[in-house]
Structure 1
Amino acid sequence: MDEDLRARIEREAEVAALFNALKHDSDAQVGAIMGPLMGENPDFRPYGDDIPDIVAPVIADVNDRSTAEKRERLEELAPKRLEELDAEDESDDRALPELPNVEEYEEIRMRVAPNPNGPWHIGHVRMPAVIGEYKQRHHGWMLCRFDDTDPETKRPDLDAYEEILDSIAYLGFDPDEVVRASDRLETYYEHARELIELGGAYTCSCNGETFSGLKNDGEACPHREKDTETTLSEFEAMVDGEYNSGEMVLRIRTDIEHKNPALRDWVAFRMVDTPHPRPEAAGYRCWPMLDFQSGIDDHAFGITHIVRGIDLQDSAKRQAFVYEYFGWEYPEIVHWGHVQIDAYDVAMSTSTIKELIAEGELDGWDDPRAPTIASLRRRGIRGEAIVDAMVELGTSTSNVELAMSSVYAKNRDLIDDEADRLFFVRDGVEKPLIGGPDAAEPPVHPDHENRGTRDIPVGGAILVEPDDVPPNGKRIWLKGYGPVRHTRDALEFTGEGIDIVRNGDVDVVHWVPADESVPVRLRTMDGDLKGHAEPGIAGYNTDDVVQFERIGFARIDRHGAEETVAYFAHP
């Protein structure tokens, strides 16, 4: 690599890093700028293995600068990029309403609280998208707390912890702190003991049916009046694992005649016989219920605003009893309705997706038919597009629907300029080609002449899609090549000018050479499509996104001896 090229790579990387850091008000990352860098500078691609090492120190230098210094440097290097950035800020429609009472807090602190019982489906994105947006808006703080205190019903998947963190990073966010609730059992026990001392909790050995009947009648169970010493002793026995599942619980003393039966003396701790899958937590048998655990942690980490589903309104009311005992101030709450996703036949449910994978109906979490983050990522859809579409839904208490077409439109805006064009023919019909040039030279990208042209050798025959074969005697225009007439079961070059296309006399179709094309399997939401692509596809790397002309965008997944595999993103 010569010095001039290296200097240009460093300069372009600095511009991309400055723009990225200022746009997201965070440190730039090598991975986040590699796509735009390579897309806007295709001549860098042959050096793809070397570029990360070249740009890493450049990005580190950018991250060391203050915001003012970054703006000054970007204005010096690329003033139009700074204008673009400022224009984005001015046109931000701020689809999200302002958080309640933000002016009363020195720092906005929010949390995502995933249950790590499996990788994320698309519905999970809404929480980190909205909270990440608020964090950036207010220069706030974000916690990722894994709510993994249910070892039985929603049993944690040991791989899901890292998979979820990886998904958050793919969406463009970086939690300020990550904790696992299963590491904090002793903290919950200490708060339970203090609550018992305050008269706010008691141990109860009623079976579920008995207590439910009493609760619904507004009657106290006989254990409600236990003295503090007995309750403490029995709670310690719970902690020591001396009871089996269902034999003893710790209840929060609320109002047994409360108008809402769901708030009457709710369970804070129960016994679970199934060991936790994490070795560090496998020895515990006394586990907090989510409302207790979450309430304690929200206070401990100074959470100022909670976003949760409207179906969880009772959670705040239950936790309010605990906060009142301790004299704490409850965080601000934003409730929203459910989000539905169109375009999928598979239910948006972790358990359902697991079952379909186990039964062989799906290949895995990244199967293109699965409504999962892993699937969207493998299809070449950027996390930013999903986040933008989710944020536009706002925080309405009404149920809302996310149209995947919205995600696709936003992704198209992000990748269209970068994606080179290629021909891919499905179920091709072979036709001899008579006369005409020996090769075609369609543009790499119709909007960027500086990227040059593709050299596609013709040979003696080509493949076209069945629906594109014209009736005998009629003409078509082969993209990048020219006009041909279907005659004697062959395509004969006729030599007319482009006016026959402009006048609407002939259709423009894509094609590939019969002999030098590359077999391709295109994986889509509707199943796999077999076909052939122009030979240049072999020069693209895994993760490159291209546009198959007249078909849509696709991510190159892998090249094999028998075929190239690509994943369809969207039209």
Structure 2
Amino acid sequence: MSESKDFLRTIVEEDLQAGKYNEIVTRFPPEPNGFPHIGHAKSIVINFGIARDYKGHCNLRMDDTNPTTEDTRYVEALKDAVEWLGFQWEGNVRYTSDYFPELYEYAKQLIRMGKAYVDSLTEEEIREYRGTVTEPGRRSVYAQRSVEENLDLLERMKNGEFKDGEHVLRAKIDMGAANMKMRDPLLYRIRHAHHYRTGDAWNIYPMYDYGHCISDYLEGVTHSICTLEFENNRDIYDWVLDTLGLKNPRPYQYEFARLGINYTVMSKRKLLELVNEGYVNGWDDPRMPTIAGLRRRGYTPESILSFCHQIGIAKANSMVDVAQLEFCIRDDLNTKVPRVMCVLDPLKVTIENYEGSEELDASYYPEDVPKEGSRKLPFSREIYIERDDFSENPPAGFYRLTPKQPVRLKHAYIITCKEVIKDDLGNIMEIIATYHPDSKSGSDTSGIKVKSAIQWVEAATAKTVEVRLYDRLYSCEVPEGVEDLNPDSLKIIKNALVEPTLITEKPDVRFQFERHGYFYADPIDYTDEAPVFNKIVGLKDSWNKKVKEGDVVAKPEHKATEKKIQIDGEVAPMNEVEQTRFNKYTNELKLNSEVSNTLARDEKLSSFYEAAVAVNHNPITIANIVANEVARELKEKKIDELKFTPEQIAELVKMIDDEIISNKIAKQVFEEMVQSGENPSKIVEAQGLVQISDPAVIMPIIDDVMAKNPDNVEKYKAGNTKLFGFFVGQVLKATGGKANPQIVNVLVTQKLQ
């Protein structure tokens, strides 16, 4: 077995030794109401891994009992995730909806046994009657209905004679049970909604606790493995199977700790909000913790499997550092991918004493990677280097090119700066350099000592590419909502330059761009004519600043100031005024600690913030704008030099609240406010930036996108559901970000059905 012995495998082995089961059968039973995420990957690895290790099998079953939230595209995404991770389910995909007839018959059996009844209390009354942890509940008066009346009502519920919520079917167990889950739990509820598989055949749908255990039994599952939040539900699981007297062998439920990762949310509700509100570009946005997102970013199945194996299987919940996931992809790619050169911020270098051109031999892999492969690098007098690889006034410890310090061009020659050419504003436009002919890499006889080698590309043959620099989606360790989003989670560079072999020879789809990190050719947007590369992960963990639990995390200062609040893991203490502000912002206004810290420590920011909140009491949204956009402006200006006011920021936020503009458009409006000082409402009116929410306006744009991308439409309908985000993105792009993302999602879904 590949995994070490964990408590679940110990249980399985004991059951096999005792002869409890002839074959181990597990199942992965997700709800098809969203795309699977990294937490689902852990469950997939556990369930399929245990079945594999003990020569059993694992079923893939969609727990499709809520027709209001489920969709076939989620089913396809779940199937795709299992296969991409390298697993195969037994037989066909199974569905809880396959068992609706059997579940209904078992429900009638419970009624005949006097163990279930139709209750007509309202949802609020059911909650009230349940009692508390210290007080027993009260049983509904409707529990006295006869068997005949209950069977009649259940049949009429199924036939659609009653409204949603008018009746429910409940188990009759114990209203005084210490485990409140056992206080007559719901078995069925009325839902007048079209089911994506059964259509309108059913008007009642089983609850998870009822449908799940019987589905396990019907499939011959032996070990029903779920996450720890279902621990109290185990009593219902056992009660249903025991009360029905289902013969052995029967399944038993076991719980493990669910996966929690810092700087990440895995709540489906919160992920759905990110997608529907346009904070990300679909379920497969490379910043998302979804399998589709990780896959599009460039993560490999091997790295995800390695991560799941490393974190192990525990009985107690804990938080895993996202750096461990990032380590796994670095570790996997380190021995696999070619090393190539890319310049993100090009600075031209003219080597005045070089004539002609040549091709230099360059290996794709360093000596410690046991792989072969090389390419020819074009070289001539005009090249580009990274702008930050040159410093006219270098700080201590700067080992790259300076007016007095030569440097090696990787795989090429040593060059020396001769002249710095600037524009009228003093910006460096070009470096005039000389090269040392006897310093060629691999045959250097120059005797010149240099301390580093820098990347470069030849000007004439370099390929222009778009590079998407992805970072963590959230800026704080334990994010709560969209107010904690990292505003710098995506930076797009349109005119990066790469050496030509990436495009012409295509030695791989993943690369290490030297000094920058690991990158992946975007599987949807990449073309040879317009190449796009996604940053998978940096070469090292740049977030690894440990602070003690309870410490305030200081917001990084602007690089230009070279000022640091945090030193050796300690945070400079606040004075009394700052601490009072911080307490107010976190306790009264509910800001997260990082934003509160930023505002509390800065008198100018806190004054500006409080003036804006006094006009529009939306403290969280205003705080994020002030702590990021306004703070950026105040790095370079005094507060009386700003062209916009707190009142205008309050007005801008109100326009977001009223859905007049989207968050994306709000950023555009803010940039105009910075330049002109004009009121946001006038900017929106003058530039026609009002959010488009009228389906009649949006639908023709969707039609146009579909007409221009017939191949992608066909691919989507053939099962490539990750293209959904592509269509939404194209519509938003066509409207300049003005279309309401929620309405776009709904209309695109309808169009693709």
Q: Give the TM-score normalised by structure 1.
A: 0.78
Q: How far apart in 1 are the matches of 2:446 and 2:58?
A: 56
Deviations 1:51-99 (A, max 9, x none): xxxxxxxxxxxxxxxxxxxxxxxxxxxxxxxxxxxxxx6x864467524
Q: How far apart in 2 are the matches of 1:555 and 1:256?
A: 57
Q: How far apart in 2 are the matches of 1:122 and 1:543?
A: 25
Counterparts in 2 of 1:94 and 1:462: CA distance versus 1, 3 Å: farther
Offset at residue 160 of structure 1 (A): 0.8
Offset at residue 156 of structure 1 (A): 0.3
Q: Is the 8 A contact 1:426 1:465 kept in 2?
A: yes
Question: Who is 2:187 aligned against?
Answer: 268
Moved more, 187-196 or 203-212: 203-212
Structure 1 segment 444-459 matched on structure 2, within 5 A: 444-447=364-367, 451-459=372-380
Q: How far apart in 1 are the matches of 2:223 and 2:364?
A: 49
Question: Who is 2:668 aligned against?
Answer: none
2:253 is aligned with 1:333: yes
Question: Who is 1:118 aligned against?
Answer: 34
Q: How far apart in 1 are the matches of 2:361 and 2:7?
A: 47
Structure 1 segment 24-423 matched on structure 2, within 5 A: 93-94=4-5, 98-100=9-11, 101-103=14-16, 104-152=20-68, 155-177=69-91, 178-216=93-131, 217-276=136-195, 278=196, 280-328=198-246, 331-344=251-264, 347-423=265-341
Question: Who is 2:348 aligned against?
Answer: 430
Counterparts in 2 of 1:477 and 1:408: CA distance versus 1, 3 Å: same
Question: Who is 1:546 aligned against?
Answer: 511
Q: How far apart in 2 are the matches of 1:502 and 1:318?
A: 79
Counterparts in 2 of 1:452 and 1:219: CA distance versus 1, 3 Å: closer
Offset at residue 517 of structure 1 (A): 0.7
Q: Is the 8 A contact 2:350 2:382 kept in 1?
A: yes
Residue 298 of structure 1 aligns with an amino acid whose one-letter code is: D
Counterparts in 2 of 1:304 and 1:135: CA distance versus 1, 3 Å: same
Structure 1 segment 496-507 matched on structure 2, within 5 A: 496=439, 505-507=450-452
- Alignment counterpart, residue 513 of structure 1, candidates 453, 458, 461: 458
Counterparts in 2 of 1:368 and 1:209: CA distance versus 1, 3 Å: closer
Residue 65 of structure 2 aligns with an amino acid whose one-letter code is: T
State the SS of the aligned residue for 2:285.
coil
Counterparts in 2 of 1:430 and 1:169: CA distance versus 1, 3 Å: same
Q: How far apart in 2 are the matches of 1:563 and 1:95?
A: 48
State the SS of the aligned residue for 1:133.
helix
Q: How far apart in 1 are the matches of 2:300 and 2:410?
A: 29
Counterparts in 2 of 1:568 and 1:297: CA distance versus 1, 3 Å: same
Counterparts in 2 of 1:275 and 1:501: CA distance versus 1, 3 Å: farther
User: What is the percent sequence identity of the aligned residues?
Assistant: 26
Question: Who is 1:30 aligned against?
Answer: none
Counterparts in 2 of 1:391 and 1:236: CA distance versus 1, 3 Å: same
Counterparts in 2 of 1:435 and 1:506: CA distance versus 1, 3 Å: farther
Counterparts in 2 of 1:502 and 1:270: CA distance versus 1, 3 Å: farther
Residue 411 of structure 2 aligns with an amino acid whose one-letter code is: G
Q: Is the 8 A contact 1:97 1:394 kept in 2?
A: no
Q: How far apart in 2 are the matches of 1:414 and 1:215?
A: 52
Deviations 1:226-256 (A, max 9, x none): 2222211111111111111111111111122
Offset at residue 497 of structure 1 (A): 7.0
Residue 464 of structure 1 aligns with an amino acid whose one-letter code is: I
Q: How far apart in 2 are the matches of 1:213 and 1:401?
A: 35
Q: How far apart in 2 are the matches of 1:219 and 1:311?
A: 25
Deviations 1:458-497 (A, max 9, x none): 2321111112121113111111102111112323212347
Q: Is the 8 A contact 1:501 1:508 kept in 2?
A: no
Residue 535 of structure 1 aligns with an amino acid whose one-letter code is: P
State the SS of the aligned residue for 1:454.
strand
Q: Is the 8 A contact 2:337 2:508 kept in 1?
A: no
Question: Who is 1:566 aligned against?
Answer: 533
Residue 404 of structure 2 aligns with an amino acid whose one-letter code is: G
Q: Is the 8 A contact 1:96 1:392 kept in 2?
A: no
2:435 is aligned with 1:522: no
State the SS of the aligned residue for 2:198.
helix
Q: Is the 8 A contact 2:439 2:446 kept in 1?
A: no
Offset at residue 321 of structure 1 (A): 1.8
Q: Is the 8 A contact 1:542 1:556 kept in 2?
A: no
Counterparts in 2 of 1:262 and 1:94: CA distance versus 1, 3 Å: closer
Residue 106 of structure 2 aligns with an amino acid whose one-letter code is: H
Residue 513 of structure 1 aligns with an amino acid whose one-letter code is: E
Offset at residue 287 of structure 1 (A): 0.9
Q: Is the 8 A contact 1:96 1:394 kept in 2?
A: no
- Alignment counterpart, residue 416 of structure 2, candidates 485, 496, 512: 485
Offset at residue 561 of structure 1 (A): 6.6
Counterparts in 2 of 1:242 and 1:253: CA distance versus 1, 3 Å: same
2:481 is aligned with 1:536: no
Q: Is the 8 A contact 1:435 1:492 kept in 2?
A: yes
Q: How far apart in 2 are the matches of 1:214 and 1:268?
A: 17
Q: How far apart in 2 are the matches of 1:195 and 1:550?
A: 66
Offset at residue 189 of structure 1 (A): 0.6
What do you get for the CA RMSD once the two structures are aligned?
2.6
Offset at residue 434 of structure 1 (A): 3.6
Offset at residue 424 of structure 1 (A): 0.5
Counterparts in 2 of 1:165 and 1:192: CA distance versus 1, 3 Å: same
Question: Who is 2:718 aligned against?
Answer: none
Offset at residue 199 of structure 1 (A): 2.1
Equivalent residue pairs, number:
477
Counterparts in 2 of 1:396 and 1:265: CA distance versus 1, 3 Å: same
Q: Is the 8 A contact 1:200 1:322 kept in 2?
A: no
Residue 545 of structure 1 aligns with an amino acid whose one-letter code is: R
Q: Is the 8 A contact 1:523 1:567 kept in 2?
A: yes
Counterparts in 2 of 1:257 and 1:214: CA distance versus 1, 3 Å: same
Residue 520 of structure 1 aligns with an amino acid whose one-letter code is: V
Deviations 1:433-467 (A, max 9, x none): 24466332211223479744321212321111112
Q: Is the 8 A contact 1:422 1:534 kept in 2?
A: yes
Q: How far apart in 2 are the matches of 1:502 and 1:449?
A: 30
Q: Is the 8 A contact 1:393 1:400 kept in 2?
A: no
Residue 201 of structure 1 aligns with an amino acid whose one-letter code is: A
Q: Is the 8 A contact 1:424 1:548 kept in 2?
A: yes
Moved more, 188-197 or 442-451: 442-451
Q: Is the 8 A contact 2:99 2:215 kept in 1?
A: no
Which structure's relative contact order is higher, taking Cα pairs within 8 Å and 6+ residues apart? 1
